[in-house]
Structure 1
Amino acid sequence: MMEVRKHNDKVQQSVKVIEEKQSVWIKQREGDEEYLKKIIEEQQKEKQEETGKGHVAEEGNQAINLVEEFHRIGKFEEQKERPLKIKFTTQVQAVVVLSGSWKLAGNDEFKNVWINKDLDEDERTRVKELVTEAKQKNDMRMEEEKEQFYGRVRDLRLRKKFIRR
């Protein structure tokens, strides 16, 4: 009987720990939702500035409705940033977000935000290999070549990116 009580106490302690972690995760998810809304609103503001019309709040709410699901990737660790995987309801919306993602670098608040297409394990391995190869080739170039172009990974291929003057 005593052994059952000890086991029951252990189970209750485990449940408390899990409930506390779940509470933290729920708070993080709520924060992620707000952060995602902020990013979408920022993109909508930029779009409005480009076109000179539109309703930012209304478009932002429509955009958030186009998100089918999102969640953090990787194991939770205190004080560690983890990637956020977002699944859109349509492929068109995903392409629109990806094509406008470069604009985030111009805003100090989103300077450390990166938006990339989801890759499977083989694609990620290939990208890592290509990035390593590009770095090696960039280091081996002569000064004259460094002023003209640099190596860059694009669409799972190593390409030359020419520098504009």
Structure 2
Amino acid sequence: MRGTVKHIATNIDSRGWGTYGLAPGCVLLNGAYELIDDTDPVELPGWLVQANVERASAAISGRPEKPVAAPDAYTARAVRAECDRVASEPPGRRNKVLSTAAYALGQLVGAEVLDREHARAELETAVAAWNTPASWAKDTGVIATSLAAGEDNPRRINRRGPGRAA
């Protein structure tokens, strides 16, 4: 299951593979989440369970994972350019720049020329240059969501290379 933001209903987000959820017991740099009272949690409504089960089934039946070899020169340059842009972005537009970069790299993942985990790791390294630990969970969520969106809209790649016949 992928994480959702307002796809199921207004102000309802679900957290799944590649996203972060915070709950009692989670420890962050500035402290830990704790229960504020002894109230038992309520049961998850059936419609919400069903909405997530349907999404999970679609994701499981999607395109199978294929191992991707080391990126070719074009792909490696694209990764470096996007990550350099992210790392050097001053405060103000970082979320937009990160989302755009992750989407672009996700398109390369969808085209099967870039490994998803490699793209994620490179983007996380770029974000680490911002030195903003308080926004790490949000930033890694943006990476996961935008990579997935780009992967669902793969870039068309000319696999023949320049000057080669079809």
With normalisation by structure 2, the TM-score equals 0.19
Q: Which has the higher strand share?
A: 1
Q: Which has the larger radius of gyration?
A: 1
Which has the higher relative contact order, 1 or 2, with Cα contacts under 8 A spaced 6 or more apart?
2
Q: Which has the higher helix share?
A: 1
With normalisation by structure 1, the TM-score equals 0.19
